[in-house]
Amino acid sequence: MVTSRKSLSVLLLFAFLSASAFGYNMYYLPQAAVGVGGDLQFVTQISIGNGSADPTEVAVGFVTNDGKPWAVNTSCSENSNLNGLREELGFLLFAKRKYAISMTSAGDFQVGWALVLSPRPIQVSATYGFYRRAAGTTGKIPTEPPREAAMLQLWEPLWEAAVLPAPSAMEFSFPAHSRQGDMVYGADVNTGFAVGNPNDVPVTVTASIWSDAGLLLATEDFALPAFGHRAQFINELFGGTDLSSVRGVVELKATGPIAVMAMRESKRQDKVVYSTIAVVPSSNRGTGLEFDTEPNNSPDDTWQIRPPTQVYGTICDDDNDSGINTDFYRVYLMDRPRIEVILLAGSLGSPLNPTLTLEKENGEVVASSEEIFPGSRDRKLTYTASGEEQLFIRIGGAMGSDSHQAFYRMFVRAF
Ligand SMILES: [Ca+2]
Ligand SMILES: [Ca+2]
């Protein structure tokens, strides 16, 4: 039985970040907010779950805007060893267990960000909450753990919003809304964003805002120190530009990989709520994205995909009318007659041992696939059409490798 874990220092976390050889999974939470102002309190709660069948080590580091270790109050109902004033946490998370770690501060509002590391894939999310002191209570935050039960009695929730860990990339974009008296609800709407720099060197971020008509409204540069953080509303960042009526897009381009999240603020009189906004790396827009939907077990019963695209699919073992566990996708080869299909399964950790062929509607195979390298459970095929051709990509699973976990990811390009 493990009774304690050595605490991983943030500097050690940063060493892990710099040392890809460690093969750690990294989860970036580009915003964390804590603190009390008058009758109001911010709390950030980080949920960390281990869905695997084995225990795993987990390290959590809290970082200031300047990129320095950030001491915050942490409390965890599931593990009282994690209660206290901490810059980082290190613990062993057993199979199928989940910890909810609350970050709080009895002092003024503070913001920073958090990084979570684990040698195994884990489930990480963060919930931001804003609470008002309940009437008839002192609102005093107990300084000694356990705190959570007392806080539940003392603070009523005003809003909460949750995020998944942010990806890290050089370029991002997200919808930006800044408007007095929005046309739908009459609320004042604004957009805030948070950026973390996971590099041990400074980066410069160039932010641009585009109108709904596609016009460039403003561009601003800002610097982030090594491991630094910045959280700001867009009307603060683009302070010299009138953003009283903007429904557009913000693009961020950095000199190194950054992690980004964004939130929308809706305010009317004394009511204010926040919700999270989807932020995607621009690299995600390089190819289309499609998902396998059933039934697609025959050429008659599928749809056309348009390269370049990627497909997320599963060869499941459920019985179906035909008794065949197969996914078909139709492609037309015309002005770009050469097609390349890459099907990943084994390299993604899927148990699927896939089959992959390119066929005519009558089932005649025009191209068969090969392993990407000998012994791998990933496959590829290429084919060049002699004229206009309608063909079908057929994916199956070798005997016994089909299941609800038997997922694949297929990339299709045409030249
Ligand atoms: Ca399927
Ligand atoms: Ca199918």
- CATH number of the domain residue 316 falls in: 2.60.120.380
Ramachandran angles phi, psi of 143, nearest 5°: -90, -15
Residue 355 located in a structural domain: yes
Average pLDDT over all residues of the chain: 87
User: Looking at 4-8, 322-326, 373-377, which range is the least confident one?
Assistant: 4-8
Q: Give the side-chain half-sphere CA count within 13 A for 146.
A: 11
User: Highest mean pLDDT range out of 44-48, 88-92, 348-352?
Assistant: 44-48
pLDDT grade, residue 5 (50/70/90)? Answer: very low
pLDDT grade, residue 323 (50/70/90)? Answer: low
pLDDT grade, residue 382 (50/70/90)? Answer: very high
Residue 1 located in a structural domain: no
Residue 3 located in a structural domain: no
Same-domain check for residues 231 and 312: no
Same-domain check for residues 150 and 179: no
Same-domain check for residues 232 and 244: yes
Domain count, the chain: 3
The pair of structure tokens assigned to 105 is: 């501060």
- 265-275: average pLDDT: 89
Looking at residue 7, what is its pLDDT?
A: 38
pLDDT grade, residue 324 (50/70/90)? Answer: low
Higher pLDDT: 37 or 359? It is 359
Same-domain check for residues 65 and 113: yes
Residue 364 has pLDDT above 80, yes or no: yes
Q: What percent of the chain has pLDDT over 90?
A: 64
pTM: 0.80
Looking at residue 223, what is its pLDDT?
A: 97
Same-domain check for residues 189 and 147: no
- Ligand nearest the Cα of residue 325 is 2
Same-domain check for residues 16 and 151: yes
User: Looking at 19-28, 120-129, 361-370, 381-390, which range is the least confident one?
Assistant: 19-28
User: Highest mean pLDDT range out of 131-140, 148-157, 292-301, 399-408?
Assistant: 292-301
Distance 327 CA to ligand 2 centre (A): 4
Name the residue range of residue 93's domain: 10-163
Distance 343 CA to ligand 1 centre (A): 14
List, for residues 164-173, the tens digit of each pLDDT value.
999 899 999 9
User: Highest mean pLDDT range out of 112-116, 135-139, 155-159, 400-404?
Assistant: 112-116
Same-domain check for residues 239 and 353: no
Residue 62 located in a structural domain: yes
Pairing of strands 309-314, 288-291: parallel
Residue carrying structure tokens 């399964």: 345
Distance 293 CA to ligand 2 centre (A): 7
Which domain-ending residue is among 241, 269, 284? 284
Looking at residue 153, what is its pLDDT?
A: 57
pLDDT grade, residue 260 (50/70/90)? Answer: very high
Cα angle 206, 207, 208; round to 5: 120
Looking at residue 384, what is its pLDDT?
A: 96
Give the separation between CA 199 and CA 20, rounded to whole angstroms.
12
Distance 314 CA to ligand 1 centre (A): 4
Residue 81 located in a structural domain: yes
Neighbours of ion ligand 1 (CB under 5 A): 292, 327
Residue 262 located in a structural domain: yes
Same-domain check for residues 224 and 209: yes
Distance 302 CA to ligand 2 centre (A): 9
Give the separation between CA 39 and CA 151, rounded to whole angstroms.
13
Residue 8 has pLDDT above 70, yes or no: no
Which domain-ending residue is among 163, 190, 217? 163
Same-domain check for residues 97 and 56: yes
List, for residues 366-377, the tens digit of each pLDDT value.
999 999 999 999
Give the separation between CA 329 and CA 306, rounded to whole angstroms.
10
- 296-304: average pLDDT: 91
Is residue 179 within 8 A of residue 245, CB to CB? The reply is: yes
Residue 157 has pLDDT above 50, yes or no: yes
Residue 21 located in a structural domain: yes
Distance 376 CA to ligand 2 centre (A): 23
Distance 328 CA to ligand 1 centre (A): 8
Give the separation between CA 393 and CA 332, rounded to whole angstroms.
11
Same-domain check for residues 16 and 145: yes
Which domain-ending residue is among 252, 284, 316? 284
Distance 297 CA to ligand 2 centre (A): 4
Other C-beta atoms lying within 10 Å of the C-beta of residue 68: 15
Same-domain check for residues 188 and 329: no
Same-domain check for residues 152 and 61: yes
- 286-295: average pLDDT: 86
Neighbour-count burial for 89-106, b at 16+ CB within 10 Å, e otherwise: bbbbbeeeeebbbbbbbe
Instruction: Give 328's contacts (C-beta < 8 A, 6+ positions apart).
Output: 296, 297, 298, 299, 301, 302, 392, 393, 394, 395
Higher pLDDT: 142 or 289? It is 289
Distance 396 CA to ligand 2 centre (A): 8
Other C-beta atoms lying within 10 Å of the C-beta of residue 139: 17
List, for residues 182-233, the tens digit of each pLDDT value.
767 788 899 999 999 999 899 999 999 999 999 999 999 999 999 999 999 9
Residue 2 located in a structural domain: no
The CATH number assigned to the domain holding 206 equals 2.60.290.11
Give the separation between CA 332 and CA 361, rounded to whole angstroms.
12
